[in-house]
Amino acid sequence: MTKLKGLILTEGMHGMISQAEGLAKALDLNFFQEKIELNSFWKFIPPRFTPIKKFVFKNEIKEDFDIIISCGRKSVIPSIFIKKNSKKKIFNIHIQDPKVLLDNFDVVVAPEHDNLSGNNVISTKGAIHYLTIQEINENKSYLSNKIKPEKEVVALILGGPNKYYKFTKENIKNVFLKITENFIKKNFQLIIVPSMRTPKDIIKFANEHYGKDHLVINEVDKKAYLSALGLSKFIVVTCDSSSMISEAAITGKPIYVANIPATKDDYRFRKFLSLFKELNIIRILDSNVENWNYEKLDETNRVAKEIINKY
């Protein structure tokens, strides 16, 4: 049977690509990706105030496809426009709250903390993503030769600044102090993995702090990320990224969240963390370390099955 063809529309950010690509793979699509570019001031206008017109975006998409998977604010209007103006029936899926009428999409996939409801809404516990246990196991040995065999591993996954959290050296120093107190002093080997949003000065600071005896990955490296998740006994993730916390939860390993003081009301992040605490997936990184188990979280494949039923 010929596979369906998928078009992924995102703003090009890792978290969005991870969610859309993960869903496309779970749906077993032949897919291609398009980074959406909006024209002039439409970049700054919320989707609910934007006309569903071609002049809103620059992209010219000539390949054939059956399904659109869009993620992020800029992709909302292009997805709706392309579906409405296609010569064939297109099934469109949007990930996250589109902030427009939900009926513009066949399916909307949104985390529970977005509080969306509707016949076409599929709610998820955390963010869907592109990681699989198989891929983690296949890449586990990538960093093995850089790890001292007699030591257990803790992985620190660094996010980056956003409108809620600042990655100042003081804030990150506090995270490092907790890592040292809880893990380094207990003879753990540390692997620090940055994301696309991690500032270069913070990576440099990590090298100054830990580079001599521990492993700091200096560039975004998916294989290193997968290997760190595979090798670690504990995973620590900074609180700014619900996507990376959700990705880590596919391992079933204990996840500690490293808090950074919020600069404004981070209600949605707090609600997300509260849900993951209830699911026994996370603890807040503080002064005690404990080991625990939970059911591996694989929302991407669950969502894909629901979508297949709707399709």
pLDDT value of residue 215 = 97
Structure confidence by residue, pLDDT tens digits, 130-189 = 999 999 999 999 999 999 989 999 999 999 999 999 999 999 999 999 999 999 999 999
pLDDT value of residue 15 = 84
Q: Is the pLDDT of residue 199 over 80?
A: yes
Q: Give the confidence band of 287 by pLDDT, cuts at 50, 70, 90.
A: confident
Q: Tell me the pLDDT of the chain averaged across its residues.
A: 95
Q: Is the pLDDT of residue 239 over 90?
A: yes
Kindly state the average pLDDT of the residues 217-240. Answer: 97
CA dist 84 and 71 (Å) reads 18
pLDDT value of residue 310 = 85
Q: Do domains 5-124 and 133-284 have the same CATH topology?
A: yes
pLDDT value of residue 35 = 97
pLDDT value of residue 114 = 86
Kindly state the average pLDDT of the residues 226-231. Answer: 98
Kindly state the average pLDDT of the residues 184-207. Answer: 96
pLDDT value of residue 13 = 85
Q: Is the pLDDT of residue 22 over 70?
A: yes
Provide, rounded to the nearest whole percent, the portion of the chain with pLDDT above 90: 91
pLDDT value of residue 2 = 79
Kindly state the average pLDDT of the residues 256-277. Answer: 94
pLDDT value of residue 203 = 97
Q: What is the CATH code of the structural domain delimited by 133-284?
A: 3.40.50.2000
CATH 3.40.50 assigned to domain 5-124? The reply is: yes
Extents of the domains making up the chain: 5-124, 133-284
Kindly state the average pLDDT of the residues 27-38. Answer: 97
Structure confidence by residue, pLDDT tens digits, 61-80 = 999 999 999 999 999 999 99
Q: Is the pLDDT of residue 1 over 70?
A: no
Kindly state the average pLDDT of the residues 222-247. Answer: 96
